[in-house]
Amino acid sequence: MNNKAGRIGIIGGGSWGTALAAHCAGIGIPVGLWLHEEDLAKRMAKKRVNDVFLPGVVLPALVEPTADFEECLAGAEMVMSVVPSHLAREVWRGAHSFLPVDAVLINATKGIEEETFLTSDRVLAESIGGNVEDRMVTLSGPTFALEVARGLPAAAVVAGRNKALTEKVQMTLASDNFRLYTNSDPIGVEIAASLKNVIAIAVGICDGLGLGNNARAALITRGLAEMARLGMALGADPLTFQGLAGIGDLVLTCTGDLSRNRTLGLRLGKGENLTRITSSSPMVAEGVKTTRSALGLARREGVELPITEEIKKVLFESRDPLAALKVLMTRAPKGEDFGSSV
């Protein structure tokens, strides 16, 4: 089904990066997979399992784990960036000089940089420089890493302004179990990919408090409006938020048992401390850092994000979770549209 790339380099060997490596190798594409942890890279090369971030999934022989940027990227026709958003700039400061000059760059990171309020694709563009924006797309959608790695059916979008480029990535990465759609609105896709993690924390808190299905549905729906409101302020197409990268990924992240952000919210709702939760797992819940960076971006753009504002107070200002949700429920009445507050 796919037009195979000669080789793909993946920078970032967390759960999603490892899953993408397994998927690409499974459809016959050789993959270099870079990991920050040299000892983990050596174990993976020997035992063929990422025992830290994706245990239980055997890596195909075409995946070559390494802690060396040059080894990972040598000869790559396509390169994926799959590092946590707060580490992307630092990682690419070391990796950019090894990026092949004509390689397509696929951003698969979800988040907003806290200091600059830049989405992950903009961070990559700044970190790498040159003409990289002309050969960059974003991959996003409702995709749990474990399910993709196991070959279960999934769909996602490849977003970029160059139609030929998005179609090239679409055809290369698609398989019978991984359906890809092209999208011409990278801004909307980036904002949706970032904000859905914050809303998932809110929904997790709601579920942890035992507030019921009605409250969960309200938070998801108004969270979607919150995502769209910020995206539209930045020039996004509102229809993007009705697609896979918007409502699709939002529903999955807010309701799926494999969601790290929902799980973090659940534990907060049940009374656990944020520091204890985040220190109990090597996995990164992107929504924690994105909460502050999204608010910074929204304030710069003059956009209200009431759910995100309350989650920030729960995460960083010791706000009682039940009190935060009560604030949202007792706000002044509004009309239901993308331009209104919750």
Q: What is the DSSP string of 139-202?
A: EESS--HHHHHTT--EEEEEE-S-HHHHHHHHHHH-BTTEEEEEES-HHHHHHHHHHHHHHHHH
Give me the residue spans of the domains in the chain. 8-184, 187-329
From 3.40.50.720, 2.60.40.1180, 3.30.70.20, 3.20.20.30, which CATH number describes the 8-184 domain? 3.40.50.720
Using DSSP, state whether 307 is helix, strand or coil: helix
pLDDT at 73: 98
Decide: 185 and 157 in contact? Cβ < 8 Å. Answer: no
Q: What pLDDT does 1 receive?
A: 46
Superfamily of domain 187-329: N-(1-d-carboxylethyl)-l-norvaline Dehydrogenase; domain 2 (1.10.1040.10)
pLDDT tens column, 108-147: 999 999 999 999 999 999 999 888 999 999 999 999 999 9
- pLDDT tens for residues 296-317? 999 999 999 999 999 999 999 9
Same topology, domains 8-184 and 187-329? Answer is no
CA 95 to CA 68: how far, in whole Å?
9
* CA 48/CA 50 separation, integer angstroms: 7
171 pLDDT more than 60: yes
- In the chain, the largest separation of any two C-alpha atoms, in whole Å, equals 60
Q: Output the CA torsion 21→25→26→27 (10° steps).
A: 120
Q: Is the predicted pLDDT of residue 341 greater than 80, yes or no? A: no
Q: Which two tokens stand for residue 259?
A: 């969601």
**Mean pLDDT on 78-94:** 95
Verify whether residue 196 is a known catalytic residue: yes
Q: How confident is the model at residue 4 (pLDDT cuts 50, 70, 90)?
A: low
Q: Which of 110, 168, 196, 312 is catalytic?
A: 196
**Which of 160-164, 184-188, 324-328 is the least confident region?**
324-328
Give the pLDDT mean for 250-267. 96
**263, burial (CB in 10 Å: exposed 0-12, middle 13-18, buried 19+):** buried
